[in-house]
Structure 1
Amino acid sequence: MSGERREEKQPTAPYSSPQGSFTEHQEEAEDEHVWTEHAQSPVFTWKCSRSEMETALGDQQQQQQQQQQEEEEDVGAEGAMLWSLQEALERQTLQIGASACGATAVVDVLKALDIHVAPEDVERCVRTRQRRNEAPLPDYLLSRSQAGATHAQLISGAEAASEGRVVGRFFHMFPARRVALLRWLCRWLRRGAVPVATMNMQRAVPEGEEVPDAWHHQLVFGVALDANAVFMTNPLDVERQSDMLERLCSDSVLLVRRKDVLQRLSPGCSLSELSQDPDPRWTSLDVLGQVKRMVEEQEQVSPSHIVIPAAYKSGITLFALRHSPTGQELLDSPELPLL
């Protein structure tokens, strides 16, 4: 929809738009605009005052806010659970391989949707990438940036492993979104969707604990609104909403420990490859410069980590049966609005 200032009076026919009914104006006014909507073939033009348009848009926004409020009220104060704690303890899948938290989550997604597939078949569909621990530093760092699986691999893996019966939809959480996370999760859980959180575990690290060296995918099997808590598997865990939100709202970067960098340096190791990667983030993060400074300062106090690009995006992937009402609703849902 576009708008432009009109210089000459021209009669326009009444037209009913999604925002309301706009009728012909006989006289030009200072705050009048022409609005044109391009349909498939004809072009419809109508004329309305700025105040009418602002009122119509305000009504639409109020309706959206009212709908969101009604949905939140429907959730209630308790929450929602796919499994009880005892059921989760019995049904959860422990990590099926190195860097395979994504494939492990997909195994449990299918299980929650009553589709049982062998873990090795799921792993083959997800195509987990491994770290190349014995490679020279540049190749090792590249493998670290891609190790595991992205949300896209989880979605395609679940679809392939279920022979098309399961559909997934990823919702970005970075940059920050305007969403009441627990209530949003609760509404989808009650509709039968199965959430998987993709989180940067290097954020919200408890005081005194070592910084983890990876991102993580975890199935969400429940939320408790009154306790402000989220229940997840692999490992069976209960997290506060504040910690989960911080891990969910992260740029796509990874911290690599100082010792993992220095022990892979060799006399013939060429670091120039770090600035030649086609992904411009390797240059914008100055990974080459970070490594050089760490090498120069290794006898002194040097940074504990370097920062490299990561293939993962933080957010929530919701899974559902493809031909269910929830599956169709997932595909039709808009992206969560930015703050």
Structure 2
Amino acid sequence: MKGLYCRAAVSDAEPKFVIQETTLSDVLGRHQVRVQVKACGLSPLDFKLLSDIGLQRDLIPVGREVAGVVLQVGSKVSLCQPEDEVVGILPLDSPWSGLCDVIDVEEHYLVQKPEKLSSVCVAASLRDGLCAYTALHTIAHMAAGHTLLVMDGASSLGLMCIQLACYHGVKVLTTSNSPQEHTFLEELRPSVGVQDPLVARVIPVYNGSSDLLSQVLEETGGLGVDILVDAGVRLLEDDKTEETLKLPHKHDIISILGVGGHWVTTHQALQLDPPDCRILHLKSASVSFLNPEMWTASSALQGRYLHILKDVVEKMSTGVLRPQPEEAVPLYQATVAMETVQCQQRKKAVVQL
């Protein structure tokens, strides 16, 4: 049985992805489930995180968002039975690549997959659905009547945040990085119910002249937003490279927040100066870091984690959450697909087995 693994990079060398032979244990653990994988989503590897938590290995398994069919269950398993269709995210310390034909995983990392939901769709978007729930519910405590600004709304995470927020009665503003994305976001409509636009205003940031702060304050009557989910932050005012030009400056984000607002950031190395903290203090606003690995890195909130996964797949099956379809690639193209995903952090891929 073969799987895709990443050979740890030496110094500044780029990581190398290799196909590696692996074997399953003859004995299945009491709480383990043996799953035949049907589809696997590929997301970038966070080498810094793996190093921080002490998971430094020569070969790192690749592909953790899996969908498949249960083949066998351990003696103490109660959440699923053989022939059940399941989905889940493998833990950080899992020895198995999600691209193996068959894997063993603890039952509390899996939930039932609705019959009408395709394996490819759920494997491609499960992680983004989890991130959206974590950002809006767990961290920001979203409620009806709030105003939300989602940076880069056409990204897979941004799209999930927009749809989830609109479902709960939140007014949504977002930004677009190209004319095509701008048109796509303006034409977003719910799959059921009143066909009003999902986004109240789409703010272009691709022409270099858009004033994000003034447009958000205009839309909110000068009050600012209750929740802001970023897609990266520009820390220095004069940092205007091609990569950072579309990112908001940290001072603009703080100025956009309303009283008691929540800033949910994906920027791992965010640095705030004393004047920035002073403004946050005056507004009683908060900054929180979005780390989607919090659920699988700790067992403290396992029940809540499973509840979120169940709700994500149920909302996907009913059309409340409609991720952008990802074209599945065959297994023999998995190495090239993962190299692309790792280089372009915003891109995702899904492999059909």
> Which has more radius of gyration?
1
TM-score tier by shorter-chain length is: under 0.3
Q: Calculate the TM-score normalised by the size of structure 2.
A: 0.20
Structure holding more helix per residue: 1
